[in-house]
Amino acid sequence: MTALHSQTPPDLSGRNLSFGRALANRTATIAIGLCVVIAALPLALVVWQVVSKGASAWSLEWFTAEIPRNYRTEGPGMGPAIVGTLAITGMAALLSIPVGVLGAVYLNEYGKNKPLARFIRTMSDVMTGVPSIMMGLFIYVGYVIVIDDQNGFAGALALACLMLPIVIRSTEEMLRLVPDELRQASSGLGARKWRTTMGVVLPAASSGITSGSLLAVARAAGETAPIIIVVGLFYGYRPDLFDGSNTTLAAQIFRNASQPFAASQERAWGAALTLIAIVFVFTILSRIVAARFAIDKR
Amino acid sequence: MDLGGEARSRRTDKGFTGLVTFAGLTVLIVLGLILATTSVQAWPAIAQDPVQFVTGSRWSPSDEVFGTLSFLYGTLVTSVIGMIIAVPVSIGIALFITEVAHRRSRKYIVTVIDLLATVPSVVFGLVGSLVVVPWITPAYQWFADLVEPIPGLSTVFDQTNTGRNYFTAGLILAVMCIPIITSISREVFATVPEIDKQGAYALGATRWEMIKGAILPHSFGGLVGASMLGLGRAMGETIAVSLVIGGAVGMSANVFAPGNTMAAVIAQQWGEAGDLHRDALIGIGVLLFAITVLINFLARVVVRRAEIQMKGAHS
């Protein structure tokens, strides 16, 4: 009959597939879709559990009171851990972001495809894969043993080591998006390279750099392993990072979660909710900055 | 003519070049320092018996006997379990995002995966140890009963009385590695030439046949690299694992048995460790560092080579 109606095109829609091929295609599509569900489930579980169990711990006192020393003592108090988290992470950002941005400037503006730059690029990728606990052990040996005291600054140093490669790689990606015409226009006006870099290239990429750095901060704020190695344990407020042992939310979650007592576990849930809220705020900020001030991708 | 200013400006330029070069070098300096300082510090504990440190399975700090084999074993078992789960799921998600999802739903899925990546590992550990462990223990017992008559399987999935074991740790590692494997897999899939995909469709392939015939063969190298990056991440994960692994010294073929991993044992024992014990824990760190750096380095090389190959073939 196709011979009679040769003008009508053959039916190429899926209906004509053989049963076996259609089944394979359908099965594969469902399996692929299931993978997304499998990944979404743990996220949903974590959010549901942390919000439902952590919310009851929140109160005004929760954010201000000192941490109870005894695991069995009921009641609130994570103020010092919140301050410790913000202070240690903030100090880590101060240490790592300038070095990371300048390092990225070297990679993208100076080193480019030189062997040294390529090596540094590979090694900073490798460094992002170094286990975070290793940064803690490194700072323990290189700083804590030397000054013979655990303190918040040691934690900041360890987190800075962790953030450095992330900042470098994300900044480099952003610098790469800055159009070459800007650099040429600047040097055409007689600016030296450092002026071009500081006055034109970095400002043009500033939103991307900020966004990437905020993400690095968010990741560092939740780190636990290096903190328990170098920061020690403390229950009260210690805004001075050089003044002995300190504490963070992540360290408190770890400490309280490993105890069998209901009171400490409740504090762990509350601290988890607080930590997730902080990390979430940084992540959202990073997205807003990235979306609002994005440079044209050419 | 302001020659003084000219000279100063040139000096500034030189100084700036030096400054940024040094900033770039800090990565190498820090990596070198990590290896050097920790190795030196760990040496007293390792030097007692360097061979025994790697091949010995007895870990008894009070007798100053440090053999890390059982932790090496735990690291291997948990990360392999994690990878067996995470790699297919991540590849599936990456395929869903690149090939199946509509533009709008794609954004939501990417957000979900990004959010999964931002959850701190200690929170996974908290949910794992206080929620998942009590839930999942009966499931383990049920499964062990089920495979009881089958030799081989009954050794790997043997009876258990605790949910804190290799398998739970592997499950959590899988969840934590999904974001990184997914994002690298997406990058790899993005390098598959559009013309190959359209060509497959033009030949009448279904979507699955197109994926099988055009995307997967093209991406194989890159996917291997992505999985290795995930493996590196899994081996170094500390806190979440230490909360759900059970903290036992020993090697069991039963994945439902408690054990320990290299990273987790450092976090667990650090607080109460004496001097030599700490040095030994740092020694475990050095070993872990060497392994993860090697895996990461190889993974990056594999990914980059795969990318170059594909772009080269296309242009």
Q: Would you call A49 and B131 a contact, using CB atoms and an 8 Å cutoff?
A: yes
The answer to whether A218 and A283 are in contact (CB under 8 A) is yes
CA angle, residues B153, B154, B159, in degrees to nearest 5: 135
pLDDT higher at B64 or B315: B64
Q: What is the pLDDT of residue B269?
A: 92
User: Which residues of A fall within a CB distance of 8 Å from B297?
Assistant: 122, 126
Q: Give the tokens for residue A159.
A: 């987190």
Mean pLDDT for B261-282 is: 92
User: Which member of B37, B96, B238 has the closest CB to residue A142?
Assistant: B37
Residue that has been written with the tokens 């991406």 in this structure: B219
Residue type, B128: G
User: Which member of B12, B109, B296 has the closest CB to residue A126?
Assistant: B296
Distance CA B168, CA B256 (A): 8
Distance CA A114, CA A104 (A): 14
Q: What residue in B sits closest to A191 (Cα-Cα)? A: B9
Which tens digit of pLDDT belongs to each residue from A56-113? 888 888 888 888 888 888 878 889 999 999 999 999 999 999 999 999 999 999 988 9
Q: Would you call B21 and A106 a contact, using CB atoms and an 8 Å cutoff?
A: yes
Residue B77 touches chain A, beta carbons under 8 Å? no
At residue B2, does pLDDT exceed 70? no
Q: Would you call A272 and B126 a contact, using CB atoms and an 8 Å cutoff?
A: yes
Residue B71 touches chain A, beta carbons under 8 Å? no
Q: How far is CA A212 from CA A101, A165, A275, B141, in A?
A: 10, 11, 20, 45
The answer to whether B176 and B238 are in contact (CB under 8 A) is no
**Could you state, in order of their start, the residue ranges of all structural domains in chain B?**
1-47, 51-314
DSSP calls for chain A: -TTTTTTSPP--SGGGS-HHHHHHHHHHHHHHHHHHHHHHHHHHHHHHHHHHHHGGG-SHHHHHSPPPSSTT--S---HHHHHHHHHHHHHHHHHHHHHHHHHHHIIIIIITTSHHHHHHHHHHHHHHTS-HHHHHHHHIIIIIHHHTS--HHHHHHHHHHHHHHHHHHHHHHHHHHS-HHHHHHHHHTT--HHHHIIIIIHHHHHHHHHHHHHHHHHHHHT--HHHHHHT----S----TTSS----HHHHHHHHHTS--HHHHHHHHHHHHHHHHHHHHHHHHHHHHHHHTPPPP-
pLDDT level of residue B87 (50, 70, 90 thresholds):
very high
Q: Give the tokens for residue B24.
A: 């770039």
Which tens digit of pLDDT belongs to each residue from A143-178? 999 999 999 999 999 999 999 999 999 999 999 999
CA torsion angle A255 A258 A263 A269 (round to 10): 80
Residue that has been written with the tokens 């009959």 in this structure: A1
User: Which residues of B fall within a CB distance of 8 Å from A220?
Assistant: none
User: Which residues of B fall within a CB distance of 8 Å from A31?
Assistant: 92
User: Which residues of B fall within a CB distance of 8 Å from A17?
Assistant: 206
Phi, psi of B60 (to 5 degrees): -135, 90
Distance CA A119, CA A204 (A): 26
Distance CA B264, CA B236 (A): 9
Angle at which helix B262-269 crosses helix B216-236, to 10 degrees, equals: 20
A60-292 CATH: 1.10.3720.10
At residue A18, does pLDDT exceed 90? no
pLDDT level of residue B249 (50, 70, 90 thresholds):
confident
Mean pLDDT for B287-292 is: 94
Distance CA B228, CA B218 (A): 18
Q: Would you call A22 and B206 a contact, using CB atoms and an 8 Å cutoff?
A: yes
The answer for residues whose C-beta is within 8 angstroms of residue B224's C-beta and 6 or more apart is B302, B306
Mean pLDDT for B34-47 is: 92
Residue that has been written with the tokens 């872990």 in this structure: B288
Q: What is the pLDDT of residue A10?
A: 64
Mean pLDDT for B126-155 is: 90
Kindly report the CATH class assigned to B51-314: mainly alpha
pLDDT level of residue A270 (50, 70, 90 thresholds):
very high
User: Which residues of B fall within a CB distance of 8 Å from A198?
Assistant: 16
Q: Would you call A275 and B123 a contact, using CB atoms and an 8 Å cutoff?
A: yes
Q: What residue in A sits closest to B123 (Cα-Cα)? A: A272
Mean pLDDT for B82-102 is: 94
Q: What is the pLDDT of residue B311?
A: 63
Mean pLDDT for B198-209 is: 91
pLDDT level of residue A258 (50, 70, 90 thresholds):
confident
Distance CA A192, CA B84 (A): 54
Q: B248 CA to chain A: closest CA distance, Å?
A: 15
Residue B165: DSSP 8-state: S
Distance CA A219, CA A253 (A): 16
Q: B141 CA to chain A: closest CA distance, Å?
A: 22
Number of A–B residue contacts, CB under 8 Å: 274
Residue-averaged pLDDT of chain A: 89
Q: How far is CA B135 from CA A17, A270, B129, B140, B168, in A?
A: 44, 21, 10, 10, 11
At residue B314, does pLDDT exceed 60? no
Residue that has been written with the tokens 């403390």 in this structure: A234
Q: What is the pLDDT of residue B5?
A: 64
Distance CA A209, CA B138 (A): 48
Q: Give the tokens for residue A218.
A: 């968010």
Q: Give the tokens for residue A220.
A: 């560092």
Distance CA A135, CA A165 (A): 12
At residue A297, does pLDDT exceed 50? no
Mean pLDDT for B120-134 is: 94
Which residues of chain B from 192 to 231 reach within 8 Å of chain A, CB to CB? 204, 206-209, 211, 229
Q: Would you call A46 and B124 a contact, using CB atoms and an 8 Å cutoff?
A: yes
Of A2-16, B60-74, B108-122, minimum mean pLDDT range = A2-16
User: Which residues of A fall within a CB distance of 8 Å from B125?
Assistant: 253-254, 257
Residue A102: name the closest of B89, B16, B261 by CA: B16
Helices (H), chain B: 3-47, 50-55, 69-95, 103-118, 121-127, 133-147, 153-156, 166-190, 194-202, 207-210, 216-236, 239-244, 262-269, 275-314
Q: What is the pLDDT of residue A292?
A: 75
Q: Would you call B204 and A12 a contact, using CB atoms and an 8 Å cutoff?
A: yes
Q: What is the pLDDT of residue B281?
A: 94
Q: Would you call A42 and B175 a contact, using CB atoms and an 8 Å cutoff?
A: yes
pLDDT level of residue A298 (50, 70, 90 thresholds):
very low
User: Which residues of B fall within a CB distance of 8 Å from A194?
Assistant: 12-13, 15-17
Mean pLDDT for B120-141 is: 93
Residue B87: name the closest of B241, B230, B251 by CA: B230
Q: Would you call A29 and B208 a contact, using CB atoms and an 8 Å cutoff?
A: yes
pLDDT level of residue B308 (50, 70, 90 thresholds):
confident
Residue B211: name the closest of A191, A258, A262, A32 by CA: A32
Count of CB atoms situated within 10 Å of the CB of A180:
8
Q: What residue in A sits closest to B278 (Cα-Cα)? A: A137
Burial class, B56, CB count within 10 angstroms (exposed 0-12 / middle 13-18 / buried 19+) = middle
Distance CA B61, CA B270 (A): 12
Residue-averaged pLDDT of chain B: 89
Distance CA B73, CA A245 (A): 34
